[in-house]
Structure 1
Amino acid sequence: MKRTSKWISTRGLAFPILAFTLCLSMASTAWGGDGIPKAAWKRALGLPLENPGVTRAAGDIDDGYWQGVPVGGFGAGTFSRSYRGDFARWHIKAGVHKYEPVYANQFAMFQQSEGDAHGTSQALMNGHPSNGELSSWQWDYPVGAGDYYGLFPKAWFDYKWDKFPAHVTLEQFSPVLPNNYRESSYPVAVYRWHAENPTNKTVVVSVLLSWTNMSGWFRTYTRDFKGAPNQGNHNEYVSEKVGDAGTMKGIVFDRNRAGTAPNDWDGQFAIAAMESPGVEVSYQTTYQASGDGKAVWSAFSKDGRLANDGKSWVSDKEKLAGAIALRFTLRPGEKKVVPMVVSWDFSLIQFGEGRKWDRRYTDFYGTSGQNAWKIARDGLLHATEWSDEIDKWQAPYITDESKPLWYRGMLFNELYALTDGGTFWGRQAGSDAKATPTFALLECFDYAYYGTLDVRFYASLPLLKFWPDIDKQVLREFADTVPKEWPEQGLWVWKTQQVGEPITHKRKKIGAVPHDLGVPEGDPFVAVNEPGWQDTNDWKDLNSKFVLMVYRDYVLTGRKDTAFLRETWPAVKAAIEYLRQFDHGGGVPENSGYPDQTYDDWVVRGVSAYSGGLWLAALRAGEETARVVGDTKTTAEYHALFLKGQKTYISQLWNGEYFRYDTSSESKDDIQADQLAGQWYANLTGLGEIVPHTMQVSAAKKIFDVNVMKFGHGEMGAANGMTADGAILTNAEAKEVWVGTTLGYAGLLMQEGMNDEAWKTTRGLYHVIYEDKGYWFRTPEAWDITGNFRAGMYMRPTAIWALEMTSPTAK
């Protein structure tokens, strides 16, 4: 599908050199260290965690709690520096997770007071290389000598060590900005050093940034760098006069390439800083990353300068690294802010079956994979502007004292998955440059499906709120698949396990909304609905959720984009008609006796609270959509079907306190936390009562009393399922807390004016993630009563924005 591109920033790329100069000169009076928001999540640098959570699922990713806020834009590839100071998590290859500290990627600091014979030099990591690399460096920065703060897309390392006379704070971010479809795609990390001299002596401060040449390392689908090639890698020192701003100096990390067309592992990194009056930049172009590191440390530890060594060679097989150092002097009481950047350009994505895609940012920088320096330049010139724009975006939320402080920080920190979750944004290589780029979040790296629809029903709320053009485009892509068929057969794993012999199913049927848009190791966005665990063609929630998300996007963007409704209406209508085949006379599609909805290991049979409620809400959304597009016949038809279905739903499921799980399975009388998901969306979009309001309130209270308060003493969120008397169920998914679905329920509570219950429910999630089990920046899909998890770095927890997107008529 081709459309006129809407992906236009409100600002051009150019940034006046004079403005940069002014920003740098103003640094003497601006001090960012005092401006760390109170809402930011805080932890002492390098502080270990006692009794952290571990995965319960064999083979699932479990890298532990050494994590941090990621850098990198939408679809650009990302990496992160943990709160102990090592760069360890790498999501550069699309859809692939690697976790391995790269020790030569490091910051270090030198400080020397006037009159002292020797300065203090220290690598800023709480620990040291486990493999003996860089043995000449001074490692093991003291644990607790400062604090880490996270408020995505920013993080701060606030260094407070008695051997450093100056107080230095490192501010880190990428320009992820609301309603911005340009800079939000950039592969650049900005590191602004805020330095203050509180002493009565002049202090020399120098900060070092060392980086490894990782070009060529991102070839495989493995989770580490074993076998990563270095042959052909080389580093180049670059110096460029940038108008009145100064001289930009740094190193580009590149490799020899066969031919002019890049492979997806071909690319560059760059590190750079701006030399200007009072700020000196020195460099070491190349040294051996696996050696003792003396080429860097012997010079840096002497006076904070590097040797300005431009020597470069091409690697045979040794790991190469390079470094820059940014040195300045602070008079007593003086403050200064100086930026550094890391940029990268891995322009091409090639998925498992060979199709090639250009990343979104290449629209602005080209597709050669050799523009890291240009990207770095823009990072330096725009550093202050971007920082201010992020602060402006966050301010109304994080300063709202009517809401808990812990929540205000969690609200932004859970957004990390929008960039760091294997996010894809690009268009097929060689395609029309005016075509709208394809966008998709990865469900998680353990379940590596792009755009998983049953999950994005919860997860896409912040995408809609801050980048609505992207969210609508995703739904257009799903709409485009509805009338199509993919006839090839795939193994139905769950059913095969049940019967003991291979059972297959069609990849996608006409009229079925696909579960996903494909997988990284396949041919995503072309071969959709990857066969796997369940036959999702007959799932009872996917089609309803698609209908509801389309109407949601129309309503929550002002009810003006009727073109969007008209374009998607055929798919919406087809999705509703497809589900009607499972209606056996009561007006509600019945579940088919297998896990045929997002709870894909929890059997459902007959009319069910979850799928049935979504269906009723979808009928109302379809009715209203039909009214907007002028289809009066369908408007009346859906209204009549809704009334019929509502009567069946209530008569078969309502027991006087809550809606039963379903009518026929062994869980039929259990309490499902997500039973009101359809009503939640109906409230969100002004569709009215799917069931009478007294029933909504009664069910919501019952869920809180049992699924929240009788599970983990009310400090773990809402269990998916509980018996009526408060016992934990045995089903693998029923006995779990799902972060995203709990947040959807909390959003419903907020809509109903049950604010205390909403905060209590959500506070349990915060407790597990940020206080007890160490799931920060890797929030899982689920945990059980032990707090141990399944499926980390999951997409659904971004549903925390449900608490911000309540009905205008909420009490």
Structure 2
Amino acid sequence: AYHMVDLMPKFVLIAFRDALWTGDLSFLRRLWGNMKDAVECVLRDDITGLKLPYHTTSSGFELFEALNEILGRAPEMLKGMGSVLLQGYTFIPLGFQSFDAWSFLGISAYAGLAWITALSSMEKAAFIMGENEYGSEIGEIMKESSENLVKLLWNGEYFNLWNDPVSGMNDNACMAAQLASLLYSYSSKLNPQIGSEKIRKTLKNIFEKCFKKGEGLINGAYPDGKRPALSGDLKYENGTGLPYRVGCQMDTPWTGVEFAVAAQMIHEEMLSEAMTILKELYDRYSRYGLFWNHIECGGHYYRSMASWEVLLALEGLVYDGFNSTLEFKPKVNRNNFKGVFTIAGSWGELTQTFESNRQRVEIKLVKNPLKVKKMVLWKIGNSIGFVEAYLNGSKIDCEKACRESEVEIVFKEEVLLVEGSDLTVNISYGS
């Protein structure tokens, strides 16, 4: 999908996340050159000098509709040639993204934020690879990219859909998935330099503008609330004259986006909004007997597997395989939480209880080995009295490091959990 400008950053995000969770340095080394190429590809096509991905027009399937109309009047031989030539990267630059029937122009929040988060991944990966100078260069590019994106798109409430500094055109729609790639900032412990205040304010506006009771979270909405679903076919409010049609991607809910937005809201402690979206989604598909067949572009669509992000968010689960660090900070039921976990082929059960000033965290491994050197947990009480750790009932040595809202447990020796292993940490707090 060379024509989708968001896929290079997404490749970087996926590659680094998988390397981090598996702790597989050889995997990262094998892909490192490709990850660098992906970054270089975006920078090479930076026609504005803003260090941001750029969408050329037309960037949606409207282009193919226009081409088909032109080629429909051509002889058969020319149709075949035109279909190849006019879609070729070197003939017409294209600026599609995953919402491929929704045309963007210039700099977009969706692709721009994916790019900035990918740069944060590259910066972290570079230091792991020992390429500190390259990591510092990437950090500087990320800083410049972030500043330019905020200047172009931040309107004080959310990031505008897109802004084209070349033509001067602008689209101020609120896109539900504008922050989607920032989910990797939680699972990969990144710092894309957007700021938590902007993230929370954006999520609040996404809920207010895009959530429609009885429908779900639609992909985008304009501040004035006009929708083709209510008014019939319209024009996008951006000066392009492109049709804003009934049933278009912008005016439709996508399950995968709903799960992703809800997961991010859970990460940001916006539990009420997240649960409202998830309940509407659950009811919508259950009502029609389609709970196991979520339909987006087609039946059983892959994006709906973003539902797993909801579990990770609820558990506050992150694993750093390079340092064997397990972070478990549940966002709900902190005094009595129980959940399943999967980490790099290992899976088991996580529980946390808090009673009589004592916090108990337990990992029961069911399948495949897991290494744990550190654990990062909620600091539920005030002053910590003592910390004890047990492996299969036998006490093991550990040390603690307290921060404002969390406590880090460091085991003297790395713990190797195998099938049937039980690792327990008890934290006692002063009354």
- TM-score scaled by length of structure 1: 0.31
Name which of 129, 136, 139 aligns with 1:639. Answer: 139
Quote the residue 2:220 is aligned against.
Answer: 721
Contact 2:123 2:138 in 1 (8 A): yes
The one of 560, 564, 573 aligned to 2:36: 573
What residue ranges of structure 1 are gaps of 5+ in the alignment? 1-535, 782-789
Deviations 1:22-56 (A, max 9, x none): xxxxxxxxxxxxxxxxxxxxxxxxxxxxxxxxxxx
- Name the structure 2 match of 1:792: 299
1:626 aligns with 2:126: yes
| Match runs of 1:730-741 below 5 Å | 730-731=244-245, 732-741=248-257
For residues 429-467 of structure 1, give each alpha carbon's deviation from its aligned partner in whole angstroms, at most 9, with x where no partner exists. Answer: xxxxxxxxxxxxxxxxxxxxxxxxxxxxxxxxxxxxxxx
Question: What's 1:610 paired with?
Answer: 110
The alpha-carbon deviation at position 549 of structure 1 amounts to 0.4
Structure 1 residues 79-228: aligned runs within 5 Å: none
Mapped contact 1:753–1:810 kept (Cα < 8 A) = no
Structure 2 CA distance, aligned partners of 1:658 and 1:758? 18
Cα distance in structure 1, aligned partners of 2:169 and 2:262: 27
Give the alignment of 1:419-458 within 5 angstroms.
Answer: none
Residue 804 of structure 1: CA displacement? 1.2
Report the counterpart of residue 72 of structure 2 in structure 1: none
Q: Spell out, residue by residue over 1:488-542, the C-alpha distance to the aligned partner (whole angstroms, 9 max, x if none).
A: xxxxxxxxxxxxxxxxxxxxxxxxxxxxxxxxxxxxxxxxxxxxxxxx3132111
Amino acid at match of 2:224: D
**What is residue 267 of structure 2 aligned with on the other side?**
751
Could you tell me how far 1:759 is from its partner in structure 2?
A: 1.0
What is the DSSP-based 3-state SS (H/G/I as helix, E as strand, rest coil) of the residue aligned with 2:171?
Answer: coil
Q: CA deviation at 1:760?
A: 0.7
1:668 alignment partner, one of 164, 171, 174: 171
Q: Distance in 1 between matches of 2:311 and 2:193?
A: 22
> Which residue identity lines up with residue 44 of structure 2 in the other structure?
Q
Q: Which residue of the other structure, out of 761, 779, 797, is the alignment partner of 2:294? A: 779
- Specify the alignment match of 2:209 in structure 1: 706
Query: How far is 1:567 from its partner?
Result: 1.1
Alignment match of 2:26 (pick from 558, 563, 566): 563
1:374-523 correspondence runs (5 A):
none
State the superposition RMSD in angstroms: 1.8
Contact 2:142 2:192 (8 Å CA) reproduced = no
Once superposed, which parts of structure 1, at least 4 consecutive aligned residues long, lie more than 3 Å away?
Answer: 664-667, 807-811
1:656 to 136, 156, 160: 156
2:240 is aligned to: none
Where do residues 530-609 of structure 1 align in structure 2 (5 Å cutoff)? 536-557=1-22, 560-583=23-46, 584-593=48-57, 594-595=59-60, 596-609=96-109
Q: Contact 1:751–1:810 (CA<8 Å) still a contact in 2?
A: no
Q: Label 1:549 to 1:624 Cα distance change in 2 as closer, same or farther (>3 A).
A: same
Deviations 1:599-623 (A, max 9, x none): 0011111111000000000001011
Give the gaps of 5 or more residues in structure 2.
Answer: 61-95, 229-243, 317-326, 332-431
Q: CA deviation at 1:755?
A: 1.2
Q: How many matched pairs? A: 261
Contact 1:716–1:767 (CA under 8 A) maintained in structure 2: no
More helix by share: 2
- In 2, the alpha carbon distance for the partners of 1:554 and 1:706 equals 37
Change (3 A) 1:763 1:667: farther
Aligned-partner Cα distance in 1 for 2:192–2:37: 24
> Is the alpha carbon distance of 1:573 and 1:689 closer, same or farther for their aligned partners in structure 2, counting shifts above 3 Å?
closer
Distance in 2, Cα, partners of 1:780 & 1:605 = 28
The answer on whether the counterparts of 2:255 and 2:304 sit within 8 Å (CA) in structure 1 is yes
Cα distance in 2, alignment partners of residues 705 and 799 from structure 1:
22
Instruction: Say whether the 8 Å CA contact 1:541–1:598 is kept in structure 2.
Output: yes
How far has the Cα of 1:777 moved from its partner? 2.6
- Counterpart of 1:734, as a letter, is M
Aligned-pair identity in percent equals 28
One-letter code aligned to 1:757: E
Q: C-alpha deviations, 1:148-204, integer Å up to 9, x for none?
A: xxxxxxxxxxxxxxxxxxxxxxxxxxxxxxxxxxxxxxxxxxxxxxxxxxxxxxxxx
Shift of 1:667: 6.9
Question: Contact 1:619–1:642 (CA<8 Å) still a contact in 2?
Answer: yes
Q: What displacement does 1:717 show?
A: 2.3
Q: 1:675 is matched by which residue type in structure 2?
A: Q
Query: How far apart are residue 689 of structure 1 and its match?
Result: 4.3
CA distance in 2, matches of 1:750, 1:666: 34
CA contact (8 A) 1:779 1:792 kept: yes
Query: CA contact under 8 A between 1:653 and 1:663: conserved in structure 2?
Result: yes
Q: 1:666 to 1:719 in 2, by over 3 A?
A: farther
SS at match of 2:146: helix
| 8 Å contact kept, 1:657–1:698 | yes
Aligned AA for 1:717? G
Instruction: Please report how far the alpha carbon of residue 686 of structure 1 lies from its aligned counterpart in structure 2 after TM superposition.
Output: 0.7
SS in 1 for 2:121: helix
Structure having the higher Rg: 1
Counterpart-to-counterpart distance in 1, 2:19 and 2:108: 28
Q: Aligned partners of 1:775, 1:610: CA distance in 2, in Å?
A: 29
Tell me which of 185, 195, 200 is aligned to 1:692: 195
Give secondary structure in 1 for the equivalent of 2:158: coil
| AA partner of residue 554 (structure 1) | A
**What is the Cα deviation at residue 673 of structure 1?**
0.1
CA distance, structure 2, for counterparts of residue 553 and residue 763 of structure 1: 30
Q: 2:143·2:193 contact (CA, 8 Å) conserved in 1?
A: no
